[in-house]
């Protein structure tokens, strides 16, 4: 049985869902709204676009270029699969916390959980 609502969702990841410039990243960091768990640190800033955008901050402390690119691929895929669960309009920067890589589904759960907690915190203010 095919879920009608799920069949209409698009799981693409076009450039409109990405933070591209350092200015966009800086604005998110300057908003000083972040939350973390054992896997990720999530920074957020409201935007007026009607959807969430994501930027990835994977530093050299997680390893060389091959390891950093692997983290980025996993995080992009986790966001792509969970973007329909992220209700709201925010610019997000995701930074991996641990040097231990985890699977995409765990990153996906972590992104959704952190986003909901941070969204509640922002709405209270």
Asked if 89 contacts 115 with a C-beta cutoff of 8 angstroms, the reply is no
Domain 29-124: give its CATH code: 3.30.230.10
Q: Which of 63, 74, 80 is nearest to 17 (CA)?
A: 80
Q: Tokens 């390891």 appear where?
A: 67
**Tokens of residue 92, six digits:** 């997000």
Judge whether 35 and 108 are in contact, CB under 8 Å: no
d(C-alpha 77, C-alpha 99), whole Å: 18
Count of CB atoms within 10 A of residue 118's CB?
20
**Does residue 112 carry a pLDDT above 70?**
yes
Q: Which distant-in-sequence residues (6+ apart) come within 8 Å of 40 by Cβ?
A: 94, 95, 96, 97, 107, 110, 111, 114
**pLDDT for res 1:** 40
Q: What is the largest CA-CA distance in the chain?
A: 46
pLDDT tens-digit series, residues 59-106: 888 888 999 999 999 999 999 898 888 888 889 999 998 677 788 999
- What lies within 8 Å, CB to CB, of 51 at 6+ separation is 16, 17, 83, 89
pLDDT tens readout for residues 6-36: 545 566 667 777 898 899 999 999 988 999 9
């Amino acid at each position: 049985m095919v879920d009608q609502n799920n069949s209409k969702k698009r799981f693409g990841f076009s450039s409109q869902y990405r933070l591209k410039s350092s200015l966009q990243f800086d604005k998110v960091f300057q908003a000083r709204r972040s939350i973390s768990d054992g896997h990720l640190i999530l920074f957020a800033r409201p935007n007026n676009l009607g959807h969430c955008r994501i930027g990835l901050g994977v530093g050299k402390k997680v390893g060389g270029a091959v390891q950093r690119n692997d983290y980025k691929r996993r995080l992009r895929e986790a966001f792509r699969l969970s973007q329909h669960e992220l209700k709201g309009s925010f610019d997000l920067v995701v930074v991996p916390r641990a040097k231990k890589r985890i699977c995409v589904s765990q990153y996906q759960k972590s992104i959704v959980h952190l986003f909901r907690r941070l969204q509640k915190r922002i709405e209270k203010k």
